[in-house]
A and B are shown apart, each in its own frame.
Chain A
Amino acid sequence: MNRTHSALLSFMGIAALGGCGSALGAANEVVIGDIDDLSGNYADVQGQGGIEAIKMAIADFGGTVLGRKIVLLTADHQNKPDVGASKAREWADQNGLNMLIGGSNTGVSIAMAKVAGAKKVPFFAVGAGGSSLTNEDCTPYTIHYSYDTTSLANGTASTIVKAGGKTWYYITADYAFGTQLQNAASKVVEASGGKNLGAVRAPLGASDFSSFLLQAQGSGAQVLGLANAGEDFSNSLKAANEFGLTKSMKPAALLAFINNIHSLGLKSAQGLYLTTSFYWDLNDETRAFSKRFFEKMKAEPTMDHAGVYSATLTYLKAVKAAGTTDPEKVMAELHRAKINDMFAKGGYVRADGVMVHDMYVMQVKSPQESKYPWDYYKLVKQMKGEEAFGPITGLCPSARR
């Protein structure tokens, strides 16, 4: 029995092994931490590319701020809130963490936001979508930087309803993010004069979406709202094509990144509407950044790659302007400054922590329209930040002050 026991223990050991962050803190350093999904389903959305983008930002800033060396710590949260939170706590307690960047996964980011709030560390949520980060779960130290469920819904849903897609049926990932996304979209659809006909909740990571699609088809709705992300999104759209659903219904991606479109291929993804905060081929500035990124990662940056680059620069500029890393003073500076770079023009952090910036409603090109590699999107509408992120809801206590 003893043997069995030790085998079981080592089994648990393997399961518990994961990203071990490495670093030692020093007083003459400014410490930036990045906690993200580095090995799971969302690893290509930010992941290693995100680390590379942060390094680019640090190098572009000159590697030092206020005469202190800028140090980057990274860790894999494995999509587990407890792993993310404990890593953040460890860095804050032992490594003198000055700024925390949160990667994909809303659940993990909420857990990290709580730690960062308690430890008074400015927290930039980039990869997570749930808008609860600046509502129920907000703290005075959270900045939601790249996109949120509200802006995605405002972009995609309102555009499609105005274009005549009045009746909606959703395929929703059965967890917090999926529900938040569906709710946000449903509200926008109704407010714009459309109608929600129903939704089917698909388990996260379902291997087959065809039955859910058949139900969507049965609803007779004009628009198929995909309130899911990553692999779930790709597999549901793939099956929608296979079953000819895209002929009778217009698919709408409530969250899609350019790497999803790249792996699906234009043949499956063409015609799809989506909302993004960044596209590599928007203008000379975005192209210049993306070219440098591409040389390192062999892929065009997602909106989160561009987002972490911009967030890192924004933080370092605020530290420089404030002349200190004192969190209160840096946060005050962050709430005061305008953000102008390749990611945002005239962006600003409002009282609840949302970084308000323009969002872009895009439509995926057909294979014939695409002229060169990664030529995937055409711009449908550039949305003003205020329109995209909507008014402050009042659910965040620190914004009410």
Chain B
Amino acid sequence: MTTVFGVPLAVILGQLMLGLVNGAFYALLSLGLAVIFGLMGVVNFAHGALYALGAFAALLGMKWLGLNYWVALLAAPAAVAVLGLAAERALLRHVYKLPPLYGLLLTFGLALVIEGTLFQLFGSSGDSYPVPEALRGAWNLGFMILPIYRGWVILASIVVCTGVWFVIERTRLGATLRAARENGALLQSFGVNVPLLFAATYGGGAALAALAGVLAAPVILVTPHMGSSLVIVVFAVVVIGGMGSILGAIVSGLGLGLIEGFTKVVYPEASNVIVFVIMAVVLILRPAGLFGKE
């Protein structure tokens, strides 16, 4: 059997495939963060909590309303988006003129409130969300058995990421959004409702986090704290990609998933620090991130 670094090739391919699945989650989550930072200048520490909220929305939708997975895929992000809109109007809009640290603090507080509320209501042990009927089973790829659901996660993530990138970088709506960030006052004088754009952006970013939560619900236990460790990694991904760069978030999300997967074969203990090592190196060589503008 062919080997790389003394590890059979099939094992490496298997791990890279799994890395790609994780990368799909990173990309989706960091995309939401990059949208919120790029278009609003807010460092959204509540992202992990919104991700958990999305998973809980899907779970409760199933338990209380009998909504299936496919409905939840749309309904849960929509519900979280509404909450995001409300949070932006009620709280976040007051800190735009202050240094970025205030937005970070506010969203950090928001995360504590959301996670604390979920904990009070549902406890810490969590609940399981079943894999939808149509996506059960597994494919034999020759070098590994890939559960169909994991393949679906990669596909869904790539479609959504490409879609969001296209909307923001290639459409008139995206241009307007970017203009609002560049010079909101000028844009407003043209008759565009800038505050609404900001609210919609935060709602959209929240919806992306929630979508990742719904996608994750069938593969990991749904708990109030499910996003709190993930969000730190995702922040590193965004920094590596370049704060606010949409393309950077997507590419570095997928890429870091792959690198992390590779680390899990070679030296598993380091798998939770490798992302931060890369972040440090990138920050030294390219302080604006791989895709960031100086």
Contacts and interface: CB of A to CB of B under 8 A. Distances in A.
B275 to A, nearest CB: 12
The 6 lowest CB-CB distance pairs between A and B, nearest first, are A203-B272, A44-B125, A211-B264, A43-B124, A259-B125, A7-B101
Contacts of A200: 268
Given A200-B268, A238-B221, A264-B221, A214 B112 contact: no
B128 interface: yes
A4 to B, nearest CB: 6
A235 interface: yes
Contacts of A286: none
14 contacts: A3-B98, A4-B99, A14-B108, A39-B116, A40-B124, A41-B124, A206-B272, A207-B229, A208-B21, A208-B22, A214-B14, A234-B126, A259-B125, A264-B221
B99 A39 contact: no
Interface stretch (A184-192, A239-247, A326-334): A239-247
A4 B219 contact: no
A281 interface: no
B130 to A, nearest CB: 8
A335 interface: no
A254 to B, nearest CB: 18
Contacts of A205: 229
Contact of B124 (A42, A174, A206, A239): A42
Interface in B133-178: 138, 144-145, 147, 149-150
B219 A239 contact: yes
Interface in B87-110: 98-99, 101-102, 104-105, 108-109
B44 interface: no
Contacts of A203: 269, 271-272
Given A203-B269, A211-B271, 6 more contacts: A206-B271, A210-B150, A214-B14, A235-B221, A242-B149, A242-B219
Contacts of B272: 203, 206
Contact of B221 (A7, A42, A234): A234
Contacts of A238: 128, 219-221
Contacts of A211: 15, 18-19, 261, 264-265, 268, 271
A10 B116 CA distance: 19
B265 A215 contact: yes
A203 B220 CA distance: 16
Contacts of A260: 125
Contacts of A44: 123-125
Given A210-B18, A211-B19, A242 B131 contact: yes
A263 B126 contact: yes
Interface of A: 3-4, 7-8, 10-11, 14, 39-45, 47, 174, 200-203, 205-208, 210-212, 214-215, 218, 230-231, 234-235, 238-239, 242-244, 259-260, 262-265, 268, 299
Interface in B235-280: 261, 264-265, 268-269, 271-272
B230 interface: yes
B182 interface: no
Nearest to A200: B268
Nearest to B223: A231
B225 interface: yes
Contacts of B119: 39, 43
Interface residues of B, number: 47
A201 B105 contact: no
B268 A202 contact: yes
B83 interface: no
A365 to B, nearest CB: 16
Contacts of B99: 3-4, 7
B145 A244 contact: yes
Given A201-B268, A211-B15, A214-B144, A11 B124 contact: no
Contact of B123 (A43, A201, A215, A265): A43
B105 A11 contact: yes
Contacts of B149: 242
Contacts of B145: 243-244
Contacts of A206: 271-272
A265 B130 CA distance: 10
A241 to B, nearest CB: 10
A212 B264 contact: yes
Contacts of A214: 11, 14-15, 18, 144
Nearest to B273: A203
Given A201-B269, A207-B229, A263-B128, A231 B18 contact: no
A174 B269 contact: yes
Nearest to B19: A211
Contact of B105 (A10, A47, A264, A265): A10
A4 B101 contact: yes
